[in-house]
Structure 1
Amino acid sequence: MATPLTNPAVYLYGPGEAKIEESPYPTITDPHEVILRIAYVGVCGSDVHFWKHGGITNKVSHAQPLIMGHEASATVHSIGSSVASLKPGDRVAIEPGRPCRRCKPCKSGVYNLCTRMEFAASPPYSHGTLRKFFTMPEDFCYKLPDSMGLDEGVLVEPLAVAVHAARLADVKARQDVVVFGAGTVGLLSAAVASAMGARKVVSVDINEKRLAFAKDFAATETFFSPKGSTAESIADSIKGQNSSLEGFDTVLECTGVEMCIDAGIQVLVSGGTCIQIGLGMPKVHFPIVALSSKEITMKGCFRYGAGDYEMAMHLLESGKVNLKKLITGVKKFEEVTDAWEATARREGIKTLIKGPEE
């Protein structure tokens, strides 16, 4: 059935070395699987890190190259014999992981912590979505409403990250929130906090253009962190800008930068909550005395879990979050490395890559 070049894919062989090559045409091995034709793939910070460094913990190699891509939208191409929720031609957003469904985390409803998770574009063996055809279980594909384009469907994945963080923080109406970082996830975290009823949403960044975008997109106010700032000065200035508050209820930290983590703990009110979304250095210093004396709740945040994609789809269908504004560039499949480089240069907000057209 397969013929040469029926399923072109982008393989990463090492830092700065990617090739478009033929990959195996997918087959349905479970009656609840579907074969998808990829429409768009989004570029995120982890893709850039792989492009620049060959991976994060596990690295790609010439012996084990990796098909890149995890943020994706697609059209259903064919379906397994037991698929009931989808049909060929349906347009979907993809939740790009396969949990085992049997381990303790999976059975406890936190399948994002599954130790046997097969997540797209995770070396050494789990290939990603930057190819023409891709298989997924039907229940990890989410039908897009008629009002939403396939380009917007790519951004359901980072929106689900923001939803997961807001649910971990238990953001409520009339709470005050600080979001560190105005990249895609930071912007979406601000939007979700606002949609969940937050009274104030302050976006913090070192890029004034991104802060201007954040103010227009979701933030009620912004804070520019100039060079030479300390964690103490950032926290004091944000609180000074909001002198009616003793501190903020929630911090959504999307940078992974040590100084931002530090400032986030310091800007919180006693009993506040900090959710660590961004990843930076493996080990950081932070003010443990402030964390303890204020009884701060600090939680890690890893991808998304049960109900997060459904909540993301609800926010989109209800019009509470608009993803279209975030898309600032679209590259052809053959221009994939240009897309990675543009993101590395922090050009625009979100760059997409079209799936193969032939």
Structure 2
Amino acid sequence: MSNPSLVLNKIDDISFETYESPVISDPHEVIVEVKKTGICGSDIHYYAHGKIGPFVLTKPMVLGHESSGVVSKVGEKVTTLKVGDNVAIEPGVPSRLSDEYKSGHYNLCPHMCFAATPNSTEGEPNPPGTLCRYYKCPEDFLVKLPDHVSLELGALVEPLTVGVHASKLAKITLGDKVVVFGAGPVGLLAAAAAKSFGATAIIIVDIFDAKLEMAKKIGVATHSFNSKTEGNFEKLLAKFDNVKPTVVLECTGAAPCINMGVQVLSAGGRFVQIGNAPGPVSFPITEFATKELTLYGSFRYGYDDYKSSVTILDRNYAKGKENAPIDFESLITHRFKFQDAVKAYDLVRGGNGCVKCIIDGPEN
């Protein structure tokens, strides 16, 4: 069978290509017919700049890693899935031999094969992305979607899981007061995860009022703060009735946000760095030390995080859309057919008020 795919050839050059469909070569593998794929900021970075840190695009690469689909074929030893099941695709598969995998930190595996991320090994092909008709994945990196979770919501599982992983690192629980810096898709979903883990007050900080309004509209923020127009950290604390927050989830990588995060945290607080910075940033190390804060680096997601995200979505919609405490669906502001995928990438690259854009899988 043919496998239509969306391919990034080089900077500013995306094309549609047709490859051979993947075949099952291991009895634990599954073929998924991809139905919905979200566009991630990393996709746009490769499109515009051709690299992210050490990951440099040197050969064509199929795009996409935020996907859901329907099981099309299963290997003979697959026991948890069957043809016709709706699934979310976890896009990064580690080496089963690495120390990181064996120690329960597979997201840190140096040999990770991550969809639509350039392979740095000379002569080796890039890991295939998910913006195609058929995608092959090990059984244990697919999560079955329950009835309350649509395929569109299934495409949100990947970015939601980034927030879930951060919330687990910070040990967020009932009663925590959380500040989230950045109201882009990752920040909004990190706030959603924090709320789902029990945070009772959440402030989202950004410099764009439209993004802050979105945070309140979908139900992930109890407060919002425009750091450009509303003032310094003392004004931010006033939103919490001058009670200092216990957790910061930093999703921007911007030095002013990192510094403000340290300033607002209560003594003994937890700071999770989710966003990437383009280079070294200044850091208030003395205040960090004297408050005895804990800093966590957060990279993608690990064991059971995908399942946790699906559970969050399932419980959120268990009583119907009208009674859902978080309106995840409103994050999807734009939808495109597969044949219009290049237009979708150009839209997201240009900004234009897009929060999350979803592309359909190729039509049969």
Instruction: Give the structure 2 partner of residue 357 of structure 1.
Output: 363
Listed one character per residue, the Cα deviations across residues 156-196 of structure 1 (whole Å, up to 9, x for unaligned) are 11111110000000011111100001111111111121122
- Secondary structure of 2:7's counterpart equals strand
Please give the residue correspondences for 1:1-358 in structure 2 after superposition, counting only pairs within 5 Å. 2=1, 6-56=2-52, 57-61=54-58, 64-124=59-119, 125-217=126-218, 218-226=220-228, 233-245=231-243, 247-319=244-316, 321-346=326-351, 347-358=353-364
Listed one character per residue, the Cα deviations across residues 60-102 of structure 1 (whole Å, up to 9, x for unaligned) are 23xx211111000011111111011111111111111111122
1:13 and 1:305, CA in 2 relative to 1: closer, same or farther beyond 3 A?
Answer: same
Unmatched tracts of structure 1, length 5 or more = none
Aligned partners of 2:20, 2:55: CA distance in 1, in Å? 23
Task: Kindly state the Cα deviation for residue 280 of structure 1 after the two structures are TM-superposed.
Answer: 2.2
Task: Kindly state the Cα deviation for residue 206 of structure 1 after the two structures are TM-superposed.
Answer: 1.0
The answer to whether the 8 A contact 1:44-1:343 is kept is no
Aligned partners of 2:284, 2:343: CA distance in 1, in Å? 40
The answer to whether the 8 A contact 2:27-2:78 is kept is yes
Aligned partners of 1:93, 1:161: CA distance in 2, in Å? 14
Tell me the TM-score normalised to structure 2 length.
0.92
Q: Return the letter of the residue paired with 1:333.
A: F
Task: Kindly state the Cα deviation for residue 226 of structure 1 after the two structures are TM-superposed.
Answer: 1.6
Aligned partners of 1:298, 1:144: CA distance in 2, in Å? 33
The answer to whether the 8 A contact 2:253-2:276 is kept is yes
| Identity %, equivalent residues | 42
- Secondary structure of 2:55's counterpart equals coil
Tell me the TM-score normalised to structure 1 length.
0.93
The answer to whether the 8 A contact 1:316-1:322 is kept is no
Aligned partners of 2:315, 2:213: CA distance in 1, in Å? 25
The answer to whether the 8 A contact 1:38-1:131 is kept is yes
Q: Return the letter of the residue paired with 1:127.
A: P
Listed one character per residue, the Cα deviations across residues 84-122 of structure 1 (whole Å, up to 9, x for unaligned) are 111111111111111112211111111111111100011
Q: Return the letter of the residue paired with 2:304.
A: G
Unmatched tracts of structure 2, length 5 or more = 120-125, 317-324
- Secondary structure of 2:194's counterpart equals helix
Aligned partners of 2:38, 2:270: CA distance in 1, in Å? 30
- Secondary structure of 1:318's counterpart equals helix
The answer to whether the 8 A contact 2:223-2:239 is kept is no
